[in-house]
Copies of this chain bind each other. A is one copy, B any other.
Amino acid sequence: MNIKEVNGGVCAPKGFKANGVHCGIRKNKIKKDFALIVSDVRASAAGVYTSNLVKGAPVIVTKKHLTDGFAQAIIVNSGNANTCNENGIEIAEGMCGMVERVSGIPSGDVIVASTGVIGQKLDLAPMEGHIGELYEGMGDNSSAAAEAIMTTDTVKKEVAVEFELGGKICRIGGIAKGVGMVCPNMATNLIFLTSDVAISPEILQKVLSDDVKSSFNMVSVDGDQSTNDTCCVLANGLAGNEPITSKGAALNIFAKALNYCTVKLSKMLAKDGEGATKLIECTVKDARSLKTARIVCKSVIKSSLVKAAMFGADANWGRVLCAIGYSGASVDISKIDVWFNSRAGSVKVCENGYGLDFSEELAKKVLTEDEVTILIDLQSGSFKASAWGCDLTYDYVKINGDYRT
C-alpha cells in the first residue's frame, strides 16, 4: 500500500472545515484559544480518554455525546481545563450549545475539550462573544485550529495522509497538542483526527483503541494519565469507499494510515516537550512479549535521570539499565545490550548487562544530535516496541515553576 503525506491537517479529508480564534480566555491577545472543527455531514465517531480518576468535565460530556457513535463537530478551548469546577458540566454543555446555535448541529453531536489550568472557573462569556466570528471563519483553516489548542506547545502539530481504498482516494488528517514531558502524569494531550473514509462506529472505535497503544500511549507524556486527555476521530464517509464494517484488507489499510498519522503526531508531541531540546526514541527489540517490550521502553523514556543525561549528551547508560531494572518487567539483565544511535553514528555502550569501553568522543557526537535513539536488545524473544520522549532541561523547570501566572 502507498501512504502519501499531504497538506491540510484536519481539513485535508473531504467535507471538513476548521478555524481558530482568540476569544480572551488567555490574557495573551495574539494567542488563539478557541477552536472549532466541523464535518459537512454527521460522521462515525470514536474516542479514547484519560484514565485519571479526576476527569475534566469536557471528557465526561464528550463521552456522553459519543455513546451513539456519531458526531459532527469538535469545539475546544485552551487556557482553562474546566476541571474540578462545580459548574464544569454545565459549562462544557454550554460550549456544545453554542455550536448548535450557530451551526444547527445538535449539541449532542458535538465533541468538547478544554486544556489549561485546573480548578479555575471557566466563563462562557468570552466564547459566546466570539463563537460567531469563529464559525463565520470556518474553512481550510486547520492551522488556526492547531494553534488555538496549544498551551505551552512551541509549534503547532498537524499531519495528513492520502491513500487508496478500493480505487477511492481517502484521507486522514489530524492536529494535536501536548507537552509536560518530564512528568508522565499530567500533560494534557488533545488529538483530533478527521477522515473521509466510510467506516462503522464500532470498527472505528476498535481501530482507534488499538492504535493508541502503539502511539500516544508510548509518548512519555502518558496521555492516559492527565485529567483532560482526549483523542477523537470523525470519519464522514465522503470518500465514497465501500464502508468498512468488519476486519479485512480495507481495515488493515485504514489502520496503517491512521497509525502513520498517530505515530507522527506522537513524535511531534515528544519532541515539543516543555523545554525539550531533542527527541528521544527508545526502541526495545527481541523481547519475550509485546507487553515486556512496551513496559521496558516506557520505563526508560520516563526516567528523569535518563532525560537529564540526554540533555547533557552524557552517555550514562547505567541509568538506562537501572530504569530497565525497576520497570517491573521480568527481564534477564545478563542478556541486555544497549546502543545510543543518531544521525551522527552508533555507539554500543553495554553488552550482556556489563559496560563496554566505548569512545566518549563518538558518544558525545551521537547524543548531541536533536534526535537520539536508545536501542535495547533483550535477546529473549522476537517482540519489539518504541516509546518517545524528550530531554529534561532547565526550561522545563522554568515553565512549570510558575505555570499559572
Chain A residues at the B interface, C-beta cutoff of 8 Å: 51-54, 81, 83-86, 117-121, 180, 182-183, 185-186, 225-227, 303-305, 308-309, 311-314, 316-319, 321-326, 330-331, 333, 350, 353-355, 392-394, 396-398, 400-405
Which residues from chain B contact A322 at a C-beta distance below 8 Å?
A: 52, 54, 118, 185-186, 226-227
- Tell whether, in the assembled complex, residue A397 and residue B394 are in contact, meaning their CB atoms are under 8 Å apart: yes
Q: Which residues of B contact A186 (CB under 8 A)?
A: 303, 305, 319, 322-323, 326
Chain B neighbourhood of A402, CB < 8 A: 309, 312-314
CB contacts (< 8 Å) of A309 on chain B: these are: 400-403
Which residue in chain B gives the minimum CB-CB distance to A304?
Answer: B183
B311 adjacent to A397 (CB under 8 Å):
yes
Q: Which of A119, A120, A311 has the most CB of B within 10 A?
A: A119
Main secondary structure of the interface of A (DSSP, over half): loop
B392 and A397 contact, CB distance less than 8 A: yes
Is B400 a contact partner of A321 (Cβ separation < 8 A)?
A: no
Would you mind naming 28 contact pairs between A and B with Cβ atoms under 8 Å apart? A52-B325, A52-B326, A54-B324, A54-B325, A81-B318, A84-B350, A85-B354, A85-B355, A118-B321, A118-B322, A119-B355, A183-B303, A183-B304, A185-B326, A186-B303, A186-B322, A227-B321, A304-B304, A309-B403, A311-B401, A312-B400, A312-B402, A312-B403, A314-B401, A314-B405, A316-B403, A392-B397, A394-B394
Give the residues in chain B near A396, CB-CB below 8 Å: 308, 397
A196–B394 CA distance with the chains assembled, in angstroms = 47
Residues of B contacting A52 in the complex (Cβ-Cβ under 8 angstroms):
322, 325-326
Best-buried of A86, A186, A227 by chain B (most CB within 10 Å) = A186
Contacting pair B85 A119 (CB below 8 A): no
Given A84-B354, A119-B321, A312-B401, 17 new contacts (CB under 8 A): A51-B326, A52-B325, A53-B330, A54-B325, A54-B353, A81-B318, A84-B321, A86-B354, A117-B318, A182-B304, A185-B304, A185-B326, A186-B305, A226-B322, A305-B400, A314-B401, A394-B397
Q: How far is the CA of A183 from the CA of B307 in the complex (A)?
A: 10
Considering the chains assembled together, what is the distance between the CA atoms of A305 and B354 in angstroms? 34
A92 to chain B, nearest CB (A): 15
Q: Once bound together, how far apart are the Cα atoms of A26 and B259, in whole Å?
A: 49
List chain B residues, Cβ under 8 A from A394: 394, 397-398
